[in-house]
Amino acid sequence: MDSAGMGSCGPGLDGATSPDTEPLIKDPRPEELIAVSHMDVQGYKWVCWKVWLCRFGAVCSLGLLLVLFNWRPRLGILARCKSCPISMADVLLLKDRYGQEFVVDVLTEEIEEGSLEFAVVEADENEWRDTVQLHSEKKTLLRYYVFEGMRYIWIARKGAFCKASILNEGWSCADLHDRQQGLSKADQSTRKQIFGANIIDVPVKSYLQLLFEEVLNPFYIFQVFSIILWMSDRYYYYAACILIISLISIGVSLYEIRKQSTTLRRMARMIVNVTVRRDAGEECVSSEELVPGDCIVIPSEGLLLPCDAALLAGECMVNESMLTGESIPVMKTPLSVSEATYSPESQRRHTLFCGTQLIQAKGGGSAGIGAIAVVTRTGFFTAKGDLISSILYPQPLDFRFYKDAMKFLLFLGIVALVGTIYSIVILSKSNTTWQELVIRSLDIVTIIVPPALPAAITTATIYAQNRLKRHGVFCISPPRINICGKTSLFCFDKTGTLTEEGLDVWGVMEVSGAGFSELVPDPRSFSPGLMLSALASCHSLALLGGQALGDPLELKMIESTGWELTEPENEMGLDSEFGKHRVLAVMRPPASELPSQGNSVSQPVAIVRRFPFSSSLQRMSVVTVGPGGASPVAFLKGAPEMVASFCRRENLPSHFSPILREYASQGFRVLGFAYKHLTKETDLSTVERVEVEKDMNFLGLLVMKNQLKPESAEVIRTLKLAQIRPVMVTGDNILTAVNVARACGMVLSHEKVIFVHASPPTASSMASLQFHQGDGAAAATDNTQETIDIPAQGLYQNGAGYHLAINGMSFAALCDHFPEYLPKILMRGTVYARMTPEQKTQLVKALQKLNYRVGMCGDGANDCGALRAADVGVSLSEAEASVASPFTSKSNNISCVPLLIKEGRCSLVTSFSLFKYMALYSLIQFASVLILYTEKTNLGDLQFLFFDLFLVTVLAIVMGRGGPSDELHPQRPAASLLSLPVLSSLLLHTVLLILAQVSALLITVSQDWYVPLNSTVTGAANLPNMENTSIFALSGFQYIIMSIVITKGYPYKKPLCYNFLFVGVLLVFFSLMSWLVLFNHTIIHQVLKLYDINDMNYKLLLVAVAALNFFICYMLEILIDRGALNRLRNLRGKRMSKKQYKRLDAQLAETPSWPPLNQPLFPAQCSVIGVS
């Protein structure tokens, strides 16, 4: 391929790297630069004569050439185009990281005259810094393509097509504030041409288009071929039934696909009227007209936001449950003016996301009504667009069962080829015409590849999905149910997942002199002062309809003080009681406890600025004033170690670390508070967060009790017994997390905890890594005070287990500077504390690189990225279905996790059984037909119909209904269809089934009353005959007995006897077949063209052969299940596992001296990113 025809946005960036070869550590380049380079792009130009030649070929092949091009896009492109540089291409061939190929047309559009410049995001100043002149006085041709809803535009300087969103991702916070005057109509028009309309448009195809695409599916192409073949062989009844069933199947499939597309379109498509600032005025426009850079005015009553926007003025209360599953409203505050690059992810508290409901807005617009925001992303580039895109275009499931299914079908195809050759040889020896010979030979192919196989495999998943729904677990990705059965590690969030959502105030400790005062259980007993003011005012709560809304922790904190939250009645937020400041909220002490006149500190407090809490910052702050606007004070609240890092060293209590460690190790949730008096000259409306939060004075600690949910310990115990490793990933303090880990059983009482402390390099020291055994003092006091020396303790060669605990700061340093140690730490890490949402996602992906099947359970708020990255993501939400994760549980505890794994194992084992049954059904019929071909006869039309539709289809449907076992077994079910037990089972069963059929034929031929069939007629034309009747009788029993043999029960499913419907159907079918074999000739026998044999002893002998066949096959399956073939494995010697985590586990088991305690480790000269 011409190298000029290859391209991706950014020089030197790999395009289609296999997931298996990726490093454990994510690419250090900015995420937005990586996002535009995830595909290989090859450019092509149409060649006229090639196009016409292909059209001619399509006509001559009756459209089969177009079908081939539809299945293999690359062949279609190579046949009709020539390679060229992508800057000149008419069509592009895209290849994503999963190897999937797509063909897209390059579109062109003239840009209107004028001038508009976009600064492209800056990564490497020499290589990436760029300014793109998108149009000048002359008309400029914009080249772009649309893929998965997103626009990719050609940027000549980069020599690549890049996401259109790259043009506005370099904005600084100050740039956004400069856009408050809005865009001109000319700028808006040009930007709309570049970015497209602001709409998330889910394509809803017509029934005709869907029918065309469905019929081109290889399965239906094969069905059409089979029906034509059967009609040619005069199997009219059978062909007609299969045709009717296929049409019904296609009709139902088309209806469901269109229904889902329509529902998703209705959910995604959102067009509302929005007030924007244009040409220094305000006008109402459709949300479709919005472009990045537009300044929108949010009304006080709020609205359903149609884009992503940065909040510049005012405050908004937002319900983000559609995106996160979290029903608690979130307070959004204005973005500060700074030169820092704006990022929606890192500045979530200042970002309004598309699809979220703005409940109220205040303090930002004219006369203080509403709020002001600037549009940053539109269409599919928004947060909602990203979620819709993940539903529309899910990444392919990397699951061995589905891969092996396709390989096994290929194997059956090879068997069919052998059967075809055999049938040609046999039929050519008889008086068979060549037309009949071709038809009969091809008929073997339709027998060996069962038409009902795809439907049968999905049956188990459908049953499991319905059972989960009855238990309040909803699934938006059914194929992931089978993956649940292979889960080997489960991550849990702590607060709201393992522990109760709400917290109770345990007490407050205020700084007194150089230490702490005694713990005060009731904050109301505090004398008026700064501590009480901090507890009452340092929050992000808001009033809606007179009801306080916000974080439950802050609601409890306010409730404990007895103070009352009020808001100014003036729309501008001006309250004469507090001078000329714009007031966000007012906190008033209880009326009965109002202090004496003159004590200004204890009087009502007005909040005039808020800097909201975020998981990445681990803190929040407010600026308050007293009556008359006097005494401005800033309060800081957050993780104690984070708060301490912003305080003056001399102000920290001497026993800060031991006190914090004491409460955290007992499982308490501890928050730190600090304060600072601001000068009268400080402009409170514009003061930066950095200025407010530096040189603070430590004030005290708020201690809150977070109870473990009663179900958590039992669930963790169940998972550990099932050899599923539990891991805690939380944003809380590391000692609190370790305490909860011990309380819920992740860490047992006799097991030791080793704390991992990694620090990045500084101007005076190298990066270092150290393992501490004990109370985790070093890990708990990062960036606060000096690391406390821990006495060296004995190592753990005594056999006691150990767990590693690490916090977010150490995890970041570990990933950046010690990647060679990361795999080993991941293998033994159980507690990950102070982790940001991004780090949670990074952890899940790193564990997956070790070949773990990772589950993640969280509340959906800060865990969205991790929930979507995990193989099995479970969101605990009251919503029926959340796009935040594949699974949503309405229960508020983790009891759904074992249920999900049980259903996954049951579904996987059932899918295995159904696949094996359908394969054996094909092989039974394949053997029957070949044996009868040898005897110059065949099964009749209605005999095929009886077996395929009445017997096998009904059995396949009901055998999958069995529910999961009540217990979780330590051994996970197999996921490979090409393993030794599965293949040997199929091979041995097939041999036994063929022997049984041959035995039945030989018994028949050996009878005194045997009459040979008419050899002058072949195929079904010489029915009824004795050979056909004997094979029909035995194969009919074989279809039934193999459904029992293959159906697995213990330890993943309940025993067969609990599947009452299946047992009932088995009894009916056994009775029916026994009646057909044993009793006298009836109208049914005549319809099925069965020979009337009166010898009862012969008939009983056939039943005995079937019973013997059942007994041998059943015993053989039990022996294989219990490991009878393990001796064959032992002959080849013990092999290392293909899973990296198993190899690492064996390596660590042989290295009892790892990790080295209290020994500082430094980065290697040449670190290799990956698994050491």
Alpha helix (H) ranges present in 859-895?
Answer: 864-869
- Which residues lie below 8 Å from residue 164, measured CB to CB, with a gap of 6+? 144, 150, 151, 152, 153, 194, 195, 196, 381
Quick count: other Cβ atoms within 10 Å of Cβ 588? 15
CA atoms within 13 A on the CB side of 771: 19
Q: How far apart are CA 951 and CA 947, in angstroms?
A: 5
Q: How far apart are CA 895 and CA 717, in angstroms?
A: 12
Our answer to whether residue 443 is catalytic in this structure is: no
DSSP 198-261: S--------HHHHHHHHHTSHHHHHHHHHHHHHHHTT-HHHHHHHHHHHHHHHHHHHHHHHHHH
Question: CA dist 798 to 517, 745, 754, 771, 803, Å?
Answer: 42, 21, 15, 18, 15
Question: CA dist 251 to 207, 216, 244, Å?
Answer: 9, 15, 10
Catalytic residue among 40, 233, 308, 493: 493
Q: How far apart are CA 668 and CA 172, in angstroms?
A: 40
Beta-bridge mates of residue 362: 315, 369
Provide the token pair at 913.
């059984």
Question: What DSSP element (H or E) covers 611?
Answer: strand 605-614
Provide the token pair at 555.
């609601």
Place of tokens 């290889």: 218
Provide the token pair at 129.
């810094």
Peptide bond into 590 cis (omega under 30): no
Cα 976 from chain centre: 22
| Greatest distance between any 2 Cα atoms in the chain | 123
Give the pairing of strands 585-588 and 547-549. unpaired
CA atoms within 13 A on the CB side of 89: 32
User: Which residues in 775-911 belong to E strands, given as ranges?
Assistant: 802-807, 829-833, 854-858, 872-876, 887-889
Give the pairing of strands 619-625 and 605-614. antiparallel
Q: How far apart are CA 1023 and CA 1086, in angstroms?
A: 10
Question: CA dist 872 to 154, 835, 852, Å?
Answer: 37, 20, 11
Give the number of residues written for the chain. Answer: 1172
Q: How far apart are CA 351 and CA 168, in angstroms?
A: 15
Burial of 1070 (0-12, 13-18, 19+ CB in 10 A): middle
Tell me if residue 691 falls in helix, strand or coil. helix
Q: How far apart are CA 95 and CA 962, in angstroms?
A: 41
Alpha helix (H) ranges present in 685-771?
Answer: 689-692, 712-721, 734-744
Q: How far apart are CA 871 and CA 352, in angstroms?
A: 29
Phi, psi of 37 (to 5 degrees): -125, 30
By the 8 A CB rule, do 163 and 292 touch? Answer: no
DSSP 1105-1143: HHHHHHHHHHHHHHHHHTTTTHHHHHHT-----SSHHHH
Provide the token pair at 95.
């290849």
User: Which positions are annotated as active-site residues?
Assistant: 493
